[in-house]
Amino acid sequence: MKPLTSLTSVVAPLLRDNVDTDCIIPAEYMRSLSTNPGRGLFARWRYKADGAEDPGFVLNDPRFRHAEILLAGSNFGCGSSRENAVWALQRFGIRCVIARGFSDIFYGNCFKNGVLPVRLPEAAHALIVAEVQQRDECEVTVDVRSCRIVLPSGATIGFDLDARRQAQLLSGEDEIGATLRKRATIDAFRAEHARRAPWLYRQSPVDA
């Protein structure tokens, strides 16, 4: 996974609440394993009925085509657990989503792909919204090390990020590798658990 330490980019505003993962990537863009998920990103809003880009949609605006930061409303990424939603954002080029809240599954999926979800309280969120709306192009810096966002006005906003996830983003480490290094602890736990609940470890053989 590509590490993420700091990011400076124009902010693309998509100020809707409850943007669900079906909207982030509709199911029909998941019908082939070889399709670039970035093509399906926000497809319902990004493309018109004839398949042409809708110039009214934020990511079709020349100012935001290369935005790496998306500013959303509350409860972003609700609904389906499809990790394709994060893959779609990432393949499009988005590496950070700032919102007033995220669904639990989407929030977790972001970190597995080097995407930073920043959850902000209403007042701090409003501060960014105000600066984005004042400017044609609002460029901000999001720093993972200091957990701060620097706005064009010079104002800074701190955000919460637990140390474990922060370290994961900074190092781009393989979480599975880290777990596998605990194999002795896991095996000991399983042996003891199997004594307490042996039926969970006894399985009929796989069908021939």
Pick the binder of other proteins from 52, 123, 184, 206 (CB under 8 A).
Answer: 206
Q: Using alpha carbons only, how large is the chain's radius of gyration in Å? A: 20
The sheet carrying 156-158 orders its strands as 116-119, 96-99, 69-72, 6-14, 139-143, 148-150, 156-158
Residue spans of alpha helices (H) in the chain: 21-24, 43-46, 84-92, 104-111, 122-134, 163-171, 175-180, 183-196
Q: Are 58 and 48 in contact (CB under 8 A)?
A: no
**75 scored as a contact of other proteins (CB under 8 A):** yes
Q: Extract the tokens encoding 179.
A: 């777990």
Q: Which is nearer to other proteins, 64 or 107 (CB)?
A: 107
| Interacting positions 144-203 with other proteins (CB under 8 A) | 162-165, 174-176, 179-180, 182, 185-186, 189-190, 193, 196-203
Q: Which is nearer to other proteins, 136 or 208 (CB)?
A: 208
Q: Which is nearer to other proteins, 14 or 140 (CB)?
A: 14
Question: Pattern 95-124, binding to other proteins, x per CB under 8 A?
Answer: ------x-xxx--xx--xx-----------
Q: Are 29 and 35 in contact (CB under 8 A)?
A: yes
Q: Are 128 and 71 in contact (CB under 8 A)?
A: yes
In the complex, the residues that contact other proteins under the rule CB under 8 A are 16-18, 20, 22-23, 26-28, 30-33, 44, 49, 74-75, 78-83, 86, 101, 103-105, 108-109, 112-113, 162-165, 174-176, 179-180, 182, 185-186, 189-190, 193, 196-204, 206-207
